[in-house]
Chain A
Amino acid sequence: MANRWIVFLKVLAHAACLAPVAWLVFQFWRVSTTVPDALGPDPISFITFFTGKGTLRLLVISLAITPVRRVFPKLGWLIRFRRMLGLYAFFYACLHLMIYIWLYSNFSWSAMVDDISQRRFITAGVTAWLLLLPLALTSTTWSIRKLGGKRWRALHRLVYLAAIAGVVHYWWGVKSGVRTPLAITVVLGILLALRPVLDLFSRRSGASVTSSASG
């Protein structure tokens, strides 16, 4: 794909990732000033779920890139969007964590320590964020060079654990009997299961696209 198309699509992707945040910040500003119900009856819960679901969706999209490239070799250029999507997932996760620290815990460290040690859904959520943190920090080209491709790829496999921890966090956070996390769980399950399936398939057919090309 021509470079100028990539640039154009990147601008679009940035807009698509930032627009929901811009909308949310604007609505939250309205909530705190003149339109208290701009985000519905429970705005804090709304922004919490909005940023949490946003994180998981972006993670899943970034995890879809590798299998899609392997199935459709012509879409190889998609790799140029993966880092960006991963970083936006981390950005949403940071917003989500900030809401917890600020609006739920009111910056009380004792309350947070209490939560993290005693409540498994918060433990899972914090774990997911901590797993994403080193990936975000080593997302630069400089880091890849410094670590070497092999070690960098090994480190970045943590993203699988982070996504699983995130989905577990979602299930543990909703009331039992509620099945809203089901859709994202199924999609993530398919994406994770696709990797060994594609490995098997490419080994059999001796296809030239290998998993090591993209991790």
Chain B
Amino acid sequence: MLFRKANDIPSSEITPHSAYLNRRAFLASAGAAGVTALAGNRLRKVLAPDAAKAATKLDTVKSPLSTTGEELTPYQYITNYNNFYELGPNKDDPAKNAKWLHTRPWVVTVEGLVKKPKTFDIDSLLKLHAQEERVYRFRCVEAWSMVIPWVGYSLSELIKQCEPLGSAKYVQFLSLADPKQMPGIGQVMLNWPYSEGLRMDEAMHPLTLLTFGLYGETLPNQDGAPIRVVVPWKYGFKSAKSIVKIRFVDKQPHTAWNDQASNEYGFYSNVNPNVDHPRWSQKYERRIGAPVFKQRRPTLMFNGYGDQVASLYSGMDLRKYY
């Protein structure tokens, strides 16, 4: 049984992850090296993520903003199927290369048009506000999707503490770009460091999550440790990973994928089944981890968060501002 209902069950007790932990415990006791050698690729892949860095459990409270009625994507898929180009271009590269990334010590600088520019240590950010478990749908621009129990708190909590100036219209996120820790930097032609951005009202929206963990534990490196944003109504690439700088600016910041192919990846990139990617349709998506013949499902406007966020874009032509 791979799935449980998202409601009512704390994610830390959901089968996929505990099965995963049991398997690890079994392997450890059986002499991991020998078993792994015999077990073949699949098991080794399942083993890989935590080999990099043991995840720490996070104390969380449930959030009323969680998406309900969706089956959670198993932990092993969330941590072995990643687009994190700093750690390599293929989906399984980030898990393999996760071991190179060091997330302690980690400092996040908040700067730009802000009354109180600050430098935060990751541990102080972890404690800045109560950590909430937020289950969100996650829709990649490549037309696949997952349902992920993230851990974090609204980005607005951090922004409020820094008191941005009235002239601040956008927030820019800059990710770490250290070729020594990130072998993908030399392999992929992107405008490093990875840059993403949100309009101020998008950044202040309660759904926009400053994210530290998933499945009740700190983020595995391949999922953007130690700190990332998650913007559930936008395509996944808007949700910058391994952030080192948050900058308040007056003009729309440049963003990495828009620099790469502006006709394909707009600044807004709201999930929208009616505006296709120039190269493929966005009307349907594949739900990773679902039974293979039931994976195809219609994509929802704003990824199903329209009730909460559609008003941010009233009067805007979403074909033009894709």
The interface of chain A, by Cβ under 8 A from chain B, is 28, 31-32, 36-38, 40-45, 103-104, 106, 111, 114-115, 118-122, 172-173, 175-180
Contact = CB atoms under 8 A, between A and B. Distances in A.
A176 B261 contact: yes
B188 A177 contact: yes
Given A45-B144, A176-B264, A36 B291 contact: yes
B279 A120 contact: yes
Interface string B195-233: 000000000000000000000000000000000000000
Given A41-B288, A120-B279, 18 more contacts: A36-B289, A36-B292, A40-B45, A40-B81, A40-B92, A41-B76, A42-B81, A44-B292, A111-B281, A119-B279, A119-B280, A121-B279, A122-B280, A176-B261, A176-B264, A177-B89, A178-B89, A180-B90
A37 B279 contact: no
Contacts of B264: 176
A124 to B, nearest CB: 11
Interface residues of B, number: 35
B313 interface: no
Nearest to B80: A41
Instruction: Name A's interface SS.
Output: helix
Contacts of A41: 76-77, 80-81, 91, 288-289
Contacts of A31: 292
Dominant secondary structure of chain B at its interface with chain A = loop
B276 interface: yes
A101 B188 CA distance: 32
9 contacts: A31-B292, A36-B292, A41-B76, A41-B80, A45-B144, A45-B286, A119-B281, A173-B280, A177-B89
B274 to A, nearest CB: 12
B2 A36 contact: yes
A32 B142 contact: no
B320 interface: no
Interface string B175-192: 000000000000011100
Contacts of A176: 260-261, 264
Contacts of B281: 111, 114-115, 119
Contacts of B289: 36, 41
Contacts of A44: 286, 292, 295
